[in-house]
């Protein structure tokens, strides 16, 4: 407990004094890309029928914060929750293999909603976003969740709290108290909810962002304390917790520069296999494929079901991702789930763990794919990480924009505003109006 208290206190000092102007240039460049990705993917998720239905059921009052891509401005808490769930609903949000999850999604929606409310400066907003990411990632590194636990809504709440506390201008002790409070508000979600297609998995990310707001407000009110809660909540109850990870390389190592962007609408564990078959696809007739063997690491070995009954469960199926990549050349957000060819090919995909690939974690999330053909020949391809990983074919702004334009046809104006806002953020005197522009469209009517 003492170690957790001291480490959280050091994080509080670092966050309270974090100045975006002093961050290395490549870190700010990466923040711009992550922010662009967050905004674009949120707008894409906001267009889903489920997201529209949820906005209608919520019936949030008008307010200062944008529902990104949905044509409305609502209260801060509603925006934080609804934007967060839209962001993760298509499995296209940025992630980090060292954190073992999605640091940005845990806190960026809350920070952006709060920044719109307080009309924060661009510099303060950028610092708060960096704080949210770095603290979340460090808590992800420090946490070793029990087998079966899903990372959404657990270790990342501390990052959401850190970002919101930085935006409120709290001092070091109060920021530490907010971080500790956030660490005491985790969701204990089971990974099977994702593979079973239960949307509660998306709601865990909404809960993370609202809990981050709550933790920062408690600290602002003076009612929060730093007692090393993470050692008990993320440690004793949910797994194991190593406080030393919270401060390792603090101020020198920036985890935001080590993340990945996604080009497939599926769990990142499925991406190396999808990338491998895309490399094998030229000249390959899917109808002549008799079997596909996918060897993977231990973290991905559970995504083996060739059956799905909705998009969420499909996105957590490696057979789905491999079959979609082979048939369509992509695992897109609009891939038809009922295509009989897709289901038939998925049934020919077998997923197994390979010890040699597990041994390469966490630096590599590798996959080895063997495609067997009707003429008795095989084709083999191994990839060390998914395309889009900072360590393996990283995506630049041009490539991200190309993906967003393909996924969001007819929303070029919104994508342009998002790109400009992401690039210009640190220099803005006020971020509120620019953030509200990201709602897009007519305030009284959602885009069709």
Residues 239 and 280 in one domain: no
Distance CA 30, CA 257 (A): 6
Predicted TM-score of the model (pTM): 0.96
In this predicted structure, the answer to whether residue 223 has a pLDDT above a threshold of 70 is: yes
pLDDT band at 441 (very low <50, low <70, confident <90, very high): confident
129, 30 contact by CB (below 8 A): no
Distance CA 129, CA 110 (A): 10
**Cα dist. 5→2, 179, 224 in Å?**
5, 11, 13
Residues 36 and 143 in one domain: yes
In this predicted structure, the answer to whether residue 271 has a pLDDT above a threshold of 80 is: yes
Residues 22 and 100 in one domain: yes
Distance CA 388, CA 259 (A): 9
Residues 69 and 142 in one domain: yes
CATH number (domain holding residue 352): 3.30.1330.120
| Percent of the residues in the chain that have a pLDDT greater than 70, as a whole number | 98
pLDDT in tens, 327-382: 999 999 999 999 999 999 999 999 999 999 999 999 999 999 999 999 999 999 99
Range of the domain at 404: 2-261+399-439
Distance CA 149, CA 144 (A): 10
Residue indicated by tokens 């298509």? 90
3 state SS of 59: coil
Please give the tally of structural domains in the chain: 2
Q: Report if residue 448 sits inside a domain.
A: no
**Domain termination site, one of 383, 408, 423:** 383
Q: What is the predicted pLDDT for the residue at 202?
A: 98
422 burial level (CB within 10 Å; 0-12, 13-18, 19+): buried
Residues 18 and 112 in one domain: yes
Q: Report if residue 48 sits inside a domain.
A: yes
Q: Report if residue 100 sits inside a domain.
A: yes
Which long-range CB contacts under 8 A does 70-73 form with residues at least 24 apart?
A: 70/43, 70/46, 70/439, 70/440, 70/441, 70/446, 70/447, 71/439, 71/440, 71/441, 71/442, 71/443, 71/444, 71/445, 71/446, 71/447, 72/439, 72/443, 72/446, 73/116, 73/436, 73/439, 73/443
**Domain termination site, one of 354, 383, 412:** 383
Distance CA 100, CA 212 (A): 19
Q: Report if residue 303 sits inside a domain.
A: yes
**Cα dist. 295→76, 263, 355, 357 in Å?**
44, 21, 9, 8
Residues 365 and 407 in one domain: no
428, 112 contact by CB (below 8 A): no
Residues 18 and 139 in one domain: yes
Residues 66 and 176 in one domain: yes
CATH number (domain holding residue 203): 1.10.4100.10
Q: What is the predicted pLDDT for the residue at 444?
A: 36
Residue indicated by tokens 């290395």? 24
Question: What mean pLDDT is reported for the chain?
Answer: 96
pLDDT in tens, 75-85: 999 999 999 99
Residues 21 and 6 in one domain: yes
Give strand pairing partners of 291.
372
Q: Report if residue 358 sits inside a domain.
A: yes
Distance CA 391, CA 389 (A): 5
Q: Report if residue 394 sits inside a domain.
A: no
Q: Report if residue 391 sits inside a domain.
A: no
In this predicted structure, the answer to whether residue 210 has a pLDDT above a threshold of 80 is: yes
Residues 181 and 64 in one domain: yes
Q: Report if residue 432 sits inside a domain.
A: yes
Residues 10 and 90 in one domain: yes
Q: What is the predicted pLDDT for the residue at 206?
A: 98
246, 8 contact by CB (below 8 A): yes
3 state SS of 235: helix
Helices (H) and strands (E) in the chain, counts: 19, 8
pLDDT in tens, 81-113: 999 999 999 999 999 999 999 999 999 999 999
SS (H, E, C) 212-231: HHHHHHHHHHCCCCCCCCHH
Residues 224 and 302 in one domain: no
Q: Are strands 289-296 and 349-353 parallel, antiparallel or unpaired?
A: parallel
Distance CA 56, CA 284 (A): 46
- Beta-strand (E) ranges in 95-247? 143-145, 239-241
pLDDT in tens, 166-175: 999 999 999 9
Q: What is the predicted pLDDT for the residue at 1?
A: 74
**Domain termination site, one of 356, 383, 410:** 383
In this predicted structure, the answer to whether residue 445 has a pLDDT above a threshold of 60 is: no
Question: How much is the average pLDDT of 177-194?
Answer: 97
pLDDT in tens, 289-317: 999 999 999 999 999 999 999 999 999 99
Q: What angle do CA 188, 190, 194 make, to 5 degrees?
A: 130
């Amino acid at each position: 407990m003492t170690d957790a208290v001291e480490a959280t206190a050091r994080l509080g000092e670092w966050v309270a004094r974090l100045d975006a102007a002093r961050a290395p240039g490549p870190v700010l460049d990466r923040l711009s890309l992550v922010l662009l990705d967050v905004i674009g993917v949120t707008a894409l998720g906001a267009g889903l029928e489920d997201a529209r239905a949820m906005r209608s059921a919520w019936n949030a009052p008008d307010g200062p914060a944008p529902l990104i891509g949905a044509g409305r401005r609502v209260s801060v808490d509603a925006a934080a929750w609804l934007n967060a769930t839209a962001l993760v609903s298509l499995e296209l949000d940025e992630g980090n293999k060292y954190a073992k999850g999605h640091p940005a999604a845990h806190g960026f929606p809350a920070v952006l909603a709060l920044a719109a409310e307080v009309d924060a400066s661009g510099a303060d907003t950028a610092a708060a976003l960096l704080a949210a990411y770095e603290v979340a990632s460090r808590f992800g590194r420090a946490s070793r969740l029990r087998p079966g636990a899903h990372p959404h809504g657990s270790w990342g709440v501390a990052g959401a709290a850190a970002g919101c506390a930085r935006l409120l201008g709290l001092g070091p002790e109060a920021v530490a108290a907010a971080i500790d409070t956030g660490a005491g508000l985790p969701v204990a979600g089971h990974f099977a909810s994702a593979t079973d297609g239960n949307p509660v998995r998306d709601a865990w990310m909404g809960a993370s962002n609202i809990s981050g707001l709550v933790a920062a407000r408690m600290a602002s009110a003076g009612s929060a304390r730093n007692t090393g809660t993470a050692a008990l909540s993320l440690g004793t109850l949910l797994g194991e917790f190593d406080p030393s990870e919270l401060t390792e390389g603090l101020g020198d190592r920036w985890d935001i520069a080590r993340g990945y962007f996604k080009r497939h609408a599926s769990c990142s564990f499925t991406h190396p296999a999808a990338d491998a078959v895309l490399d094998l696809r030229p000249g390959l007739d899917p109808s002549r494929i008799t079997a596909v063997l996918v060897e993977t690491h231990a973290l991905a070995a559970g995504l083996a079901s060739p059956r799905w009954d909705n998009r969420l469960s499909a996105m957590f199926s490696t057979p789905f991702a491999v079959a979609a990549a082979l048939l369509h050349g992509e695992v897109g957000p609009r891939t038809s789930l009922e295509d009989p060819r897709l289901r038939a090919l998925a049934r020919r995909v077998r997923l197994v763990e390979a010890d040699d690939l597990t041994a390469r974690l966490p630096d590599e999330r590798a996959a080895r794919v063997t495609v067997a053909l009707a003429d008795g020949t095989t084709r083999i391809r191994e990839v060390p990480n998914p395309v889009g990983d900072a360590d393996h074919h990283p995506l630049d702004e041009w490539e991200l924009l190309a993906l967003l334009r393909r996924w969001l046809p007819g929303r070029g104006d919104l994508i342009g505003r998002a790109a400009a806002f992401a690039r210009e953020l640190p220099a803005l005197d006020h971020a509120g109006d620019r953030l509200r522009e990201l709602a897009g469209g007519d305030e009284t009517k959602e885009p069709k």
